[in-house]
């Protein structure tokens, strides 16, 4: 069984997730830690929980989801894993971060890229890859089938969807991704989004105003 710990970090109120199981191995997804206090919060919690980080995953590479990549690498030697289609998004960050008043420490690049389908494994647990572009060009969601939840990044939110007005965004593609990749999951699947509160597939199928 996978346990989820959520943190909300940085000026964009981004949700960072740590997933772990009984083995004590854990996965850090979309580390958004920005300042020293946020970095300390994550490190302290991982140490006090007796966990061993073994994977760093990014759903996509907008700045608010990768601000902590360098910190995670410096502390645990983990390079991020994401789909190679996100590289242009990552490469663009140094150009716009100063305009936004943000200090950005250059993220390491992956040694291992994730594919559109497949799995990532840690401890006794497995996450399935779901390719859901639209908010960004090669966005991935991580689906824990046995535990009935989805780490959804910025695809689907509570009564909302990811924005598509950023470079490489595509509104119709995002709607297609949600309908064809997420809405085929069981209604009871809980969605842990990149921002805001938890929702579930059934609720969004019935109530999301963007998908009526």
pLDDT in tens, 152-205: 999 999 999 999 999 999 999 999 999 999 999 999 999 999 999 999 999 999
| pTM across the whole model | 0.98
Written as one string, the DSSP assignment of 68-83 is: THHHHHHHH-PPEE-B
The tokens of 45 are what? 């919690």
Cα distance between residue 127 and residue 74, in whole Å: 25
Cα distance between residue 171 and residue 84, in whole Å: 21
Domain of residue 36, residue span: 3-211
* Number of other residues whose CB lies within 10 A of the CB of residue 84: 12
Alpha-carbon torsion, ordered 129, 70, 30, 1, to 10 deg: 70
Averaged over 103-123, what is the pLDDT? 98
Question: pLDDT tier at 143 (50, 70, 90 boundaries)?
Answer: very high
Average pLDDT, the chain: 98
Cα distance between residue 61 and residue 41, in whole Å: 22
Question: What percentage of the chain has pLDDT greater than the value 90?
Answer: 100
Cα distance between residue 122 and residue 23, in whole Å: 9
- Please report, for the domain that includes residue 116, its CATH number: 3.60.15.10
Cα distance between residue 83 and residue 186, in whole Å: 25
Question: pLDDT tier at 212 (50, 70, 90 boundaries)?
Answer: confident
pLDDT reported for residue 150: 99
Question: pLDDT tier at 54 (50, 70, 90 boundaries)?
Answer: very high
The tokens of 157 are what? 């939110």
Provide the number of structural domains found in the chain. Answer: 1
């Amino acid at each position: 069984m996978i346990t989820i710990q959520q943190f909300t970090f940085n000026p964009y109120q981004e949700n960072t997730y740590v997933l772990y199981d009984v083995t004590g191995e854990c996965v850090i997804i979309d580390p958004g830690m920005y300042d020293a206090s946020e970095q300390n919060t994550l490190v302290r919690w991982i140490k006090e929980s007796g966990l061993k980080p073994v994977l760093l995953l990014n759903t996509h590479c907008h700045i608010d989801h990768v601000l902590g990549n360098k910190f995670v690498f410096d502390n645990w030697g983990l390079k991020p894993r994401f789909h190679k289609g996100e590289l242009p998004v990552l490469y663009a960050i140094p150009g716009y971060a100063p305009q936004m008043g943000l200090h950005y420490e250059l993220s390491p690049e992956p040694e291992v890229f994730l594919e559109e389908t497949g799995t990532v494994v840690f401890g006794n647990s497995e996450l399935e890859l779901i390719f859901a572009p639209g908010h960004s060009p090669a966005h991935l969601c991580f689906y824990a089938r046995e535990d009935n939840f989805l780490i959804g990044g910025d695809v689907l939110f509570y009564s909302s969807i990811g924005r598509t007005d950023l470079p490489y965004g595509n509104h119709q593609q995002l709607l297609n991704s949600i309908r064809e990749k997420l809405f085929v999951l069981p209604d009871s699947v809980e969605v842990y989004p990149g921002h805001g509160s938890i929702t579930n597939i059934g609720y969004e199928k019935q109530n999301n105003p963007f998908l009526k």
